[in-house]
Structure 1
Amino acid sequence: MRFNFSFRKNQPAPVLNHEGAAAYPLTPALELYAAVATAALSDQFYEKADTRLARLRELIAQNEPLFVARLAVYAREKLHLRSVPLVLTVELARLHRGDNLVSRLVARVVQRADEITELLAFYAVANERQGTNGKAPAKTLNRLSKQLQKGLALSFNRFDGYQLAKYDRAGQVRLRDALFLVHPQAKDAAQQALFDQLVRGELATPYTWETELSAQGQQAFASAAERQGAFQAKWEELIASGKLGYMALLRNLRNILEADVSAEAMQAVCATLVDRSAVARSKQLPFRFLAAYREVLELKSGRVPAVLAALETAIGHSIANLRGFDANTRVLLACDVSGSMQQPISARSKVLLYDIGLVLAMLLQSRCQHVVTGMFGDRWKRISLPAGQVLRNVQELYRREGEVGYSTNGHLVVYDLRQRREVVDKVMLFTDCQLWDSTGRAGSLAAEWREYRRTVAPQAQLYLFDLAGHGTVPLQVRREDGVALIAGWSDKVFDVLAALEDGGSALTEIEKIEL
């Protein structure tokens, strides 16, 4: 009798990326980090928002609670993300019990008053406690996690009347609902009076650019010229008041220029834009400067050149102290311009994943003294660009992206180095990591990198800047192979470069977080 039983262990199924090409998985910690750092929680080219959220939940369960908490704080305080830290917090509250980790985490990630209500709204959805018409009134949250409740109560104590009034907006949960739900204990009689005003809907309307312009827009004007003059005066007042925050300034540069404000007002605007401390306090993601630059670039005002120059200076402040890139460091920067990178980062944004890669690459290029820059799609093409013009260089690359096609032949970057026998110290790919060979020759980045290190540059380092966080990479992330992963859209990705220079990894900065 012949027995057809096999006693061999089953081989693990091959890992494929979204294009069906061979790929490599990440550790649960690295995958969660990459997914969080690139999470817009909206539909992407390869992954729907619900799919990303489900994957985040699975990864949270696979990681240690303390790491998840540290990652949430890192995402909020270092990467300046708002929604995904709240998701991590709510999911951690569902899984973790027995200590005050969750309440301490809530106190760290809730930094604006409206994040109290956003956290509760997501908690209702995550725990299927929505009310009618998708609403989540407080009565549907009566089984709120005690640690979440404690953390939110502490958060209420940090906000003054201006902040409570500014962010008391209509939504799934109102601040009034949250107040009844978590029962914060007022620090003193003055704060109790604020809470009472919030309950009664009697908080004073805050002085913000939104409320001022809204009131202005409701007025009647005798002519278009009178309306123009009124809005010009209002913008000048807002600029002089100091109440126009840095983000509001960036978003309204076009409106300010179209209002034709005075020369003095524009000088004040530009002075704020280039102020190093103001840039640091604003916590703007680099692509925000690109979005503002493009809006201003479309205008015909004679003040446009000064504003564009100010934006160039402002974005340059975000990478002033980069280590590991001296005059002798040979760097290659390669930007993925494939079709999947032509995806807006969110439904309401004009900024593409491709743009983020270009911005980060040009920030690095501005600090490198020995650098080759280019882009890859069907082909790899080197493009010489002047140093010190980050946003202008981004626009130049954007203009030329069709020159290389729209596939994802990232292996050609290293193949070109190998054919030239050109030694570089650092190769940096800005990509969604979904590489495949459209030429039919079965080329791969893994094979090319292995050969390049073996035959040309044994000490070369490859940095994958993962801009999409899909969970797979085109080659193994291992120090012994000279391969590192960095994920995210913030200039804080460059802090990871510093950690790598010190022998750490992308997770080193996260593990430093104290809770």
Structure 2
Amino acid sequence: MRFNFSFRKNKPTTVVNHEGAAAFTLTPQLELYAAVATAALSDQFYEKADTRLVRLRELVAQNEPLFVAQLAVYAREKMYLRTVPLVLCVELARLHRGDNLVSRLVARVVQRADEITELLAFYALANQRQGQKTLNRLSKQLQKGLALAFNRFDGYQLAKYDRAGQVRLRDALFLVHPQAKSPEQQQLFDQLVRGELPTPYTWETELSALGQQTFTTDAERQTAFRQKWEELIGSGKLGYMALLRNLRNILEAEVSAAAMERVVAALTDERAVQRSKQLPFRFLAAYRELLTVRSGHVARLLTALETAIGHSTQNLRGFGADTRVVVACDVSGSMQQPVSARSKVQYFDIGLVLGMLLQTRCAHVVTGMFGDTWKRVPLPQNQVLRNVQELYRREGEVGYSTNGYLVVRDLRLRNEAVDKVMIFTDGQLWNSTGDGGTLAQEWAAYRRTVAPQARLYLFDLAGHGATPVQVHEQDGVALIAGWSDKVFDVLQALENGGSALTEIERIDF
């Protein structure tokens, strides 16, 4: 991403949410965790991107450096986030001195060559430097960490990510001065400086070159692209994300049955899914794209995507036949906001996907959605993406307010005891009915009169910094934040008596 935000002091002092409803503050650790785990660093419904960056900066200063470093690694390696861990590196470098914590963090977090230039771009912004000033007075620990990162990349990776931008890889090389590990690597560095790195073999470069050719007929063009896609599929160099993003193009190229067999096999390979570190909603984006394509292979690919996303929760435990669970998804107006400027996926899509992933692992589950009202919607298991589409089709049936308290009130009025209530939301709940009911009040009443051992899990998908219920173990309330399937690891920590922070503090650093 390109950073173009400014920093300013802007921290509210009143304990109300963005809708003006009563809310509860979080500890600095929990607030930083929630803000990081949900950071798209683009404008949200309630919070501008520069406001989020200001809040991240303030929260980093309020937390211990080791925890900030562990959180950055957790966000990069477990939650599959790229940009916000770099922000944490730069902010920590501004505040922390005296040891090699920052250099070790940078070397671990920077896992793609373009993250070197992205980190430097944010460093320039955070230190209010432009142009050549970007290359002046770089933190020594950042410099050491980036030098270590440079040593990990081969010629293919350097060439693939040597792109135009505020900072080029060539500029970064001059600034960081990495010590080449071998004469061969020094040759690569020299080629990078001269702009002579060989063009990498990637699906982008191959299709770009083909697109520049002239064809005499449409049939000739169709044949050329079909053959190219079959070549890419068979090459083993079409990554998992590239495959997800290009399913429509592959179908429209009318590749052979044998090539389609390889596509299906690649999509459903459990180890490939795990290695790809895809956020679950990426599967939903691919699924929806396929629904617009006319091809006899669509049904098979839809099934393959269901299988692929199902691999995400195979290890989730603790939800057997005797565990009574409610999965409630917020479909209010504020949730119907794209996660980034270029994305078609909305926050409420993320909630639906995570909710339906959880639903597949529960033997005794009530699912539903809330807005003006709360509605139970029985859905079959083992159909995550199809269930999401069903809820998406029906979301208008409950309206667009944020009356999440109705989920628990319904349980209380039915005198229905459950073990766990899972609410997927942006946390900006308020009562549009005027009857004064709140989630905090209803939860206290439900635990007091119906289910004293029940637990409430708030899955925070936006990280705005306050919650509708106080997060406290003695009240049976826990906070879980993020968009990846790794949020379910936090559930496991909670089952074992830990907290949302337990998984972060386990990071060996």
What TM-score do you get using the length of structure 1 for normalisation? 0.96
The equivalent of 2:7 in structure 1 is: none
1:389 is aligned with what amino acid?
Answer: Q
Q: Matches of 1:393 and 1:82 in 2, distance apart? A: 29
**Contact 1:333–1:429 at 8 Å: present in 2 too?**
yes
Q: Matches of 2:48 and 2:121 in 1, distance apart? A: 20
Q: CA deviation at 1:14?
A: 5.0
Q: Matches of 1:28 and 1:442 in 2, distance apart? A: 29
Q: Matches of 1:53 and 1:326 in 2, distance apart? A: 41
Q: Which runs of 4+ in 1 moved over 2 A?
A: none
* Residue 263 (1) aligns with residue 257 (2): yes
* Residue 337 (1) aligns with residue 337 (2): no
Q: Matches of 2:178 and 2:216 in 1, distance apart? A: 50
The equivalent of 1:48 in structure 2 is: 48
The equivalent of 2:92 in structure 1 is: 92
The equivalent of 2:270 in structure 1 is: 276
* Residue 420 (1) aligns with residue 411 (2): no
The equivalent of 1:313 in structure 2 is: 307
Q: Matches of 1:225 and 1:354 in 2, distance apart? A: 42
The equivalent of 1:507 in structure 2 is: 501
The equivalent of 1:350 in structure 2 is: 344
* Residue 72 (1) aligns with residue 66 (2): no
Deviations 1:196-255 (A, max 9, x none): 111111111000000000000000000111111110110000000000000000000010
The equivalent of 2:399 in structure 1 is: 405
Higher gyration radius (CA): 1
Residue 374 of structure 1, aligned match among 362, 368, 376: 368
SS of equivalent to 1:423: coil
1:368 is aligned with what amino acid?
Answer: C
Deviations 1:11-59 (A, max 9, x none): x975110000000000000000000000000000000000000000010
* Residue 111 (1) aligns with residue 111 (2): yes
SS of equivalent to 1:347: coil
Residue 428 of structure 2, aligned match among 417, 428, 434: 434
The equivalent of 1:6 in structure 2 is: none
SS of equivalent to 1:44: coil
CA RMSD of superposed structures (Å): 0.9
The equivalent of 2:4 in structure 1 is: none
2:217 is aligned with what amino acid?
Answer: S
The equivalent of 1:455 in structure 2 is: 449
1:91 is aligned with what amino acid?
Answer: E
Gaps of 5+ in 1: 1-11, 132-136
Deviations 1:310-339 (A, max 9, x none): 000000000001111011100000000000
* Residue 173 (1) aligns with residue 167 (2): yes
Q: Matches of 2:15 and 2:119 in 1, distance apart? A: 35
Q: CA deviation at 1:185?
A: 0.3
* Residue 120 (1) aligns with residue 120 (2): yes
**Contact 1:339–1:406 at 8 Å: present in 2 too?**
yes
2:261 is aligned with what amino acid?
Answer: Q
**Contact 1:114–1:167 at 8 Å: present in 2 too?**
yes
Deviations 1:456-511 (A, max 9, x none): 00000000000000000001000000000000000000000000011000000000
Q: CA deviation at 1:140?
A: 3.1
1:352–1:97 Cα change, 3 Å: same
Q: Matches of 1:106 and 1:56 in 2, distance apart? A: 18
**Contact 1:465–1:485 at 8 Å: present in 2 too?**
yes
Q: Matches of 1:452 and 1:14 in 2, distance apart? A: 28
SS of equivalent to 2:33: helix
Q: Matches of 2:237 and 2:441 in 1, distance apart? A: 55
Q: Matches of 1:255 and 1:130 in 2, distance apart? A: 40
* Residue 224 (1) aligns with residue 248 (2): no
Q: Matches of 1:238 and 1:420 in 2, distance apart? A: 57
SS of equivalent to 2:366: strand
Q: Matches of 1:36 and 1:270 in 2, distance apart? A: 34
**Contact 1:424–1:460 at 8 Å: present in 2 too?**
yes
The equivalent of 1:302 in structure 2 is: 296
Deviations 1:324-365 (A, max 9, x none): 101110000000000000000000000000000000000000
**Contact 1:231–1:259 at 8 Å: present in 2 too?**
yes
**Contact 2:120–2:134 at 8 Å: present in 1 too?**
no
The equivalent of 2:134 in structure 1 is: 140
**Contact 1:14–1:22 at 8 Å: present in 2 too?**
no
Q: Matches of 1:188 and 1:218 in 2, distance apart? A: 38
The equivalent of 1:237 in structure 2 is: 231
Deviations 1:82-140 (A, max 9, x none): 00000000010011111100000001100000000100011011101112xxxxx4x53
SS of equivalent to 1:381: strand
**Contact 2:371–2:398 at 8 Å: present in 1 too?**
yes
Gaps of 5+ in 2: 1-11
The equivalent of 1:386 in structure 2 is: 380
* Residue 198 (1) aligns with residue 192 (2): yes
Q: Matches of 2:143 and 2:160 in 1, distance apart? A: 22
2:101 is aligned with what amino acid?
Answer: L
The equivalent of 1:287 in structure 2 is: 281
1:224 is aligned with what amino acid?
Answer: D
2:282 is aligned with what amino acid?
Answer: R
The equivalent of 2:81 in structure 1 is: 81
What TM-score do you get using the length of structure 2 for normalisation? 0.97
1:473-488 correspondence runs (5 A): 473-488=467-482
SS of equivalent to 1:295: helix
**Contact 2:92–2:102 at 8 Å: present in 1 too?**
yes
